[in-house]
Structure 1
Amino acid sequence: MSPAYSITFAVLGIRPEPYAIGPALSARVGIAALAEEPVHAIALRAQVRFEPNRRPYTDAEGSGLLELFGTRERWRDTQRSFLWMHTTTMVPGFTGGTEVDLPLPCTFDLEVTGSKYLHALRDGTVPLLFLFSGTVFFRGASGFAVQQIPWDRDDRFDMPVAVWRQLMDTHYPHTGWVRLRRDTVDDLTAYKAAHGFLDYDQAVTELLSTPSRERS
């Protein structure tokens, strides 16, 4: 940006989006612009990352994080920032400052690294880093002008774990998602039918409690 123009971003809060078809969060972002002219619009982009080394973990959480980070003695090397998602929104025109909702579409697919991390957390907060970028459109003395958001515009936010759990409980109460290969689904379906189980949960529970030599 030119010296006469600067823009900053701050994440004010994150809440579940109540009317979304699928699970989604909404981040409320405050935007402040110091400029000689009003902002006409912003094509806003954000990269949202986890910073797992910014919080402690209980033994139960550590067990859930074994697949992601290994054993605790390795965490100093393995607990690095990693990507959760990319998201975008259009910000309408304003003068001085405004607030906007940034959509954060979510999934409970435990094959996704971010979902694995969130599923392992029991309490406390989720350490997030928002890296903002995009294009600012404003009206100058000679017409419309375009400038890029500087690369160093970011903000950290600690989202309560309870927010994530509320979202998942709303869309998938007492359940979760595990992706299986099609032939595995066929075998599981046949096992369920052969043993008269009412649903797949019963079939999997029985398989987990039965020694492998007794399964048929």
Structure 2
Amino acid sequence: MTDLSFVCTGVRADPYAAGPTLVFRLRITAADPARVHAIALRCQIRIEPARRGYASDEAEALTDLFGERSRWGSTLNPLRFAQVSLVVPGFTGTTEVDLPVPCTYDMDIAAARYFHALRDGEVPLLLLFSGTVFAGPGGFSVVPVPWDKEAPYRMPVAVWQEMTEQHFPGCGWLRLRRETLDALLAFRSRHALPSWEATVEALLDGARAAEPSPAAARPAQTPLPSRRPFTAARPAAERTAP
């Protein structure tokens, strides 16, 4: 049986991909000196959020994923990031290959929200491998990649930010139901607004105008009842009628 080991040596944003894509560099080493003809490799990538610290603003942005910070001891569970496949060409001893990982900036996806909440530092990832190895000195032997093969990697947050900036410069991405999108389009057409950003800003301005001012929202205070001025009691001798 061909024993393989996997190491992730780096990651970069692919500037020429049609959509947001990260490219992980893998080093694969076969302990057996016999030639590996090919590997049908599968890789699941998980985020391990408990393996890093978080600033207060990052923790606030992650509340919808993990709850209040006081509960993180039980809620900071791994998040699935991606599941990809790759055919590794034949090699003997050691080889290095690129593993392209298509990504999304959809804020409905937990991994995308997690990445978006981070300001700097590193993302603790765990790459889990499986698949089939075709090897052997004379002919083929077909063996599975053991399920315990994995490779930890700490990806710089700056790489994710670079990738999203390449495809969404200075902006974000929001998914809406078709009915909501149709209503927004009708509102934009009625008001002859030049862009979707102007449409959302017009709706926000209308919502702000409808909100009561802080002074109006404050309950009116009930005036205290008027009091007669205090007069000190006169001595009994002074109260005797003349």
Identity over aligned pairs, percent: 46
Tell me which of 54, 58, 69 is aligned to 1:57.
Answer: 54
1:67-146 matched pairs, under 5 angstroms: 67-141=64-138, 143-146=139-142
2:33/2:93 contact within 8 Å kept: no
1:61 Cα deviation (Å)?
1.1
RMSD between superposed Cα atoms in Å: 1.7
- When normalised by structure 2's length, the TM-score is 0.83
Q: How far is 1:60 from its partner?
A: 1.5
Q: Which residue of 2 aligns with 1:24?
A: 21
**Where does the alignment leave 5 or more consecutive residues of structure 2 unmatched?**
212-242
Matched, 1:169 2:175: no
Range moving further from structure 2, 30-39 or 200-209: 200-209
Counterpart AA for 2:83 = H
SS of structure 2 residue aligned to 1:211: helix
**Matched residues in 2 for 1:80 and 1:159: separation?**
18
Quick check: 2:124–2:152 contact (8 Å CA) kept in 1? yes
Which residue of the other structure, out of 199, 206, 213, is the alignment partner of 1:210?
206
In structure 2, distance between residues paired with 1:62 and 1:192:
36
Does the residue aligned with 1:129 lie in a helix, a strand or coil?
A: strand
How far has the Cα of 1:209 moved from its partner? 4.0
Identify the range of structure 1 (28-37 vs 189-198) with the bigger mean alpha-carbon deviation: 189-198
Q: Deviations over 1:182-214 (max 9, x none)?
A: 111121122223334221112212323433784
Separation in 1, partners of 2:137, 2:113: 47
Partner of 1:160: 156
8 Å Cα contact 2:79/2:110 also seen in 1: no
> 1 or 2, which has the higher strand percentage?
1
Give the distance between the partners of 1:56 and 1:196, measured in 2 at CA: 47
CA distance in 1, matches of 2:52, 2:31: 34
SS at match of 1:156: strand
Seen in structure 2, the aligned counterparts of structure 1 residues 187 and 212 have a Cα distance that, compared at 3 Å, is farther
Match of 1:94, SS? coil
Point out the structure with max Rg over C-alpha: 2
- Give the whole-Å Cα distance in 1 for the aligned partners of 2:9 and 2:33: 26
Q: 1:19 to 1:213 in 2, by over 3 A?
A: closer
| Separation in 2, partners of 1:188, 1:212 | 18
Q: Which residue of 2 aligns with 1:199?
A: 195
* Alignment of 1:183 onto 2:176: no
Match of 1:34 among 31, 35, 41: 31
Tell me if structure 1 keeps the 8 A contact 2:15–2:166. Answer: no
Where in structure 1 are there 5+ consecutive unaligned residues?
Answer: none
Give the deviation of 1:49 after TM superposition: 0.3
